[in-house]
Structure 1
Amino acid sequence: MSASPIPETNGGGLESHVTVQKRAYYSPPWADVSIIGVAGSSGSGKSTLSQAIVKKLNLPWVDSFYKTLTPAQSKLAFANEYDFDSPDAIDFDVLVEKLRDLKAGRRAEIPVYSFAKHARLEHTTSIYSPHVLVLEGIFALYDPRVIELLDMGIYCEADADTCLSRRLVRDVRERGRDIEGIIKQWFGFVKPNFEKFVEPQRKVADLIVPRGIENRVALDMMVQFVEKKLFEKSRHHREALSRLEVASKDSPLSDRVVVLNDTRQLKFMNTILQDIDTDPEDFIFYFDRLASLIIEQALNNAHFEAKKIVTPQGYEYKGLVSTGEVCAVIVLRGGSAFEPALRKTIPDCRTGRLLIQSDYSTGEPELHYLRLPDDIASQESVLLLDTQMATGGAALMAVQVLVDHGVQQDRIVLATYSAGKVGLHRLTSVFPEITVVVCNMLDYQQERWVEKSIYLSTTKELKGKA
């Protein structure tokens, strides 16, 4: 349900539109991760096979879910007398928890285990937004809870002599262990546990791969399976974006889209920025001025509370004070152009970064890098900075990332230099409570020329000073 737009002008000379609209639904591409489990005996080639799939398709790979050892267990481990090849050594509860987080589209902190120290390390590996994940380990197909979460189960097998020789080479080269200890562990734990716990997983596997990495046919089959999954996810995501565009085409613009009033001063600065003959120094100077205006308007949407103060002259002044901290998240690479203005406006502002790029073949936005303040969910306001928004695909993904990290919609303010109406409709129909501050609103899609101009202007300026 929607109402006709009612043009308004607020006290700051900013034009907006009042609307009532139904919220649309958007499911990010990482909301249903496909997980491939690769199991097999120690030395069967499962790690090499997993790494080959990862290398071919640039996928995340996890294999470190051993339990934290007690001092007594650690002593046994250094004496090669602790059984790492028993299901009891694996922390299945943590594994299932992390896999469920990933299936739900949430970030997961994967533990890192050091075989040289026989202990979990303090740091973890963050995994976020994978389309497909490879889970590798001798018990990848052991726990029924894990099997339920898998889209494909693979079992690697090789003869015992080959497995032992591979384990000898790996443990000496990568884990700093001695040959005598490796052989002792092999016959004491590895071989008996293989027959008891590992080999039965063969029955639940979707694909059995003899000879591991040497089996090129099996490797090609797995790669084709993953590529098919990736293609299906990409197609569904692009179809969802297209449906959003159709659904919002005739809808009025949200009242939470704030467009800077097109004053003579604003037109003057826009003319300079869009003139092909503009000097590099002038381009940078005037873009910084405009960026400052955009950020200042974005800060008007932060949360404030009333406060009375006493002036040096002894008068009482009824003013406002911010109710909390403001942080900024820069959408790379275009959002970096806002940093100089951000530092002038809020010198001590903490920042995070997102890198979202569109796939060259499908046009689908993909998240490549993520670094956010640890307490971003408790920030009073979060400024999301990007120079331009066309279709809204990258903006949808960026806002979804913030929401996934606990940021409330009404605390997110997207600040951008220019935005297409289609992209604005898409974004605000899915996230109706966020605020968007834009300098130029366009009826058409425009290529990302601002960041290119900033880069060229900066390069010319540096060369001129050299």
Structure 2
Amino acid sequence: MGNSDAAVKKLPMQNGNTTNLTLLVNENSTENGTEEYGSNLKILPANDVIRELQTILRDRTTSRSDFKFYADRLIRLVIEESLNQLPFTKCVITTPTGCQYDGLKYQKGNCGVSIVRSGEAMEQGLRDCCRSIRIGKILVESDVDTHEARVVYAKFPDDIAKRKVLLMYPIMSTGNTVIKAIAVLKEHNVLEENIILSNLFCTPFAAKTLVTAFPKMKILTSEIHAVAPNHFGQKYFGCRERGVSKKYN
């Protein structure tokens, strides 16, 4: 096995220790390509700016104010690229100098849906790009006894079945929460091919699970990595973690 095909990486574990894990890292799939996951999964083109943002968000020494600031920057980049997956129509406009310009405009009928709570962090980024867009919500919780994900609340635009849906969820470790959310969208007659999943960090397991379960859905993420920053929601909103008394500040 050549060095260009695989690498051994030392990854931090939750208890602060490190362990050597042999990860098969396909350079094309992890940074730029989607061969392993199909053409409907897209990763933001890798550059130093994006890698710096990812580094800051993963760094445990990052303050909450810095975390939120840089998270919003990465969210904006992901949202902008997600919007690029929506359909456009050609149009001709007249400039202030009277010239004709052949341009593009979004087709009508788009909406956002955030998976509460961490998905709500992405709502402002979407509103900053689409001022009047309608946004629905889905709340998925883990059952105390079975630990299975279950939907406890869903609120959508009445005509969501006719719309393209930008589903927002920043961290995907297993994909189970997103699977439940998509099941609810399908119950409301949303077509799988009309769903665009906007995500910041995704594990290879979650990516494979979702592209297998929903091959027609488009997915846009900034990174596929074996370790997902699961502290994202708590730190972004300044919440206490379960069993931890300290607050992020």
What is the TM-score with the length of structure 1 in the denominator? 0.44
Q: Is 1:448 aligned to residue 227 of structure 2?
A: no
| TM-fit CA distance, 1:16 | 3.3
| TM-fit CA distance, 1:388 | 0.7
How do 1:53-452 and structure 2 match up within 5 A?
252-379=36-163, 381-444=164-227, 446=228, 448-452=230-234
Which has the bigger relative contact order, CA under 8 A and spacing at least 6? 2
Q: Is the 8 A contact 2:34 2:43 kept in 1?
A: no
| TM-fit CA distance, 1:283 | 1.1
Higher strand share: 2
**2: distance between equivalents of 1:364 and 1:447?**
21
**1: distance between equivalents of 2:172 and 2:41?**
13
**1: distance between equivalents of 2:111 and 2:166?**
6
Q: Is the 8 A contact 1:254 1:425 kept in 2?
A: no
1:266 maps to amino acid? I
**1: distance between equivalents of 2:208 and 2:229?**
18
| TM-fit CA distance, 1:356 | 0.8
1:449 maps to amino acid? H
Q: Is the 8 A contact 1:281 1:457 kept in 2?
A: no
Per-residue CA distance 1:92-140 (angstroms, 9 max, x = gap):
xxxxxxxxxxxxxxxxxxxxxxxxxxxxxxxxxxxxxxxxxxxxxxxxx
Q: Is the 8 A contact 1:284 1:457 kept in 2?
A: no
**2: distance between equivalents of 1:429 and 1:411?**
17
- Specify every segment of 5 or more residues in structure 1 that has no aligned partner in the other structure, as ranges: 9-13, 19-251, 462-466
| TM-fit CA distance, 1:302 | 0.6
Change (3 A) 1:16 1:308: farther
Per-residue CA distance 1:182-235 (angstroms, 9 max, x = gap):
xxxxxxxxxxxxxxxxxxxxxxxxxxxxxxxxxxxxxxxxxxxxxxxxxxxxxx
Q: Is the 8 A contact 1:280 1:457 kept in 2?
A: no
| Matched length | 217
Higher helix share: 1
**1: distance between equivalents of 2:79 and 2:140?**
21
Q: Is the 8 A contact 1:291 1:417 kept in 2?
A: yes
Aligned match of 1:192: none
| TM-fit CA distance, 1:349 | 1.6
| TM-fit CA distance, 1:287 | 0.6
Q: Is the 8 A contact 1:283 1:457 kept in 2?
A: no
**1: distance between equivalents of 2:61 and 2:229?**
19
Q: Is the 8 A contact 1:389 1:419 kept in 2?
A: yes
| TM-fit CA distance, 1:329 | 0.7
* Identical aligned residues as a percent: 29
1:355 maps to amino acid? L
| TM-fit CA distance, 1:430 | 1.7
- Specify every segment of 5 or more residues in structure 2 that has no aligned partner in the other structure, as ranges: 1-25, 241-246
| TM-fit CA distance, 1:296 | 0.7
Describe the SS at the equivalent of 1:403: helix
Q: Is the 8 A contact 2:111 2:133 kept in 1?
A: yes
Describe the SS at the equivalent of 2:233: helix
**2: distance between equivalents of 1:357 and 1:290?**
26
1:256 maps to amino acid? N
| TM-fit CA distance, 1:438 | 0.7
Structure with the greater alpha carbon radius of gyration: 1
Q: Is the 8 A contact 1:304 1:322 kept in 2?
A: yes
**2: distance between equivalents of 1:269 and 1:430?**
30
What is the TM-score with the length of structure 2 in the denominator? 0.79
Q: Is the 8 A contact 2:93 2:103 kept in 1?
A: yes
**1: distance between equivalents of 2:207 and 2:145?**
24
1:448 maps to amino acid? N
Q: Is the 8 A contact 2:111 2:165 kept in 1?
A: yes
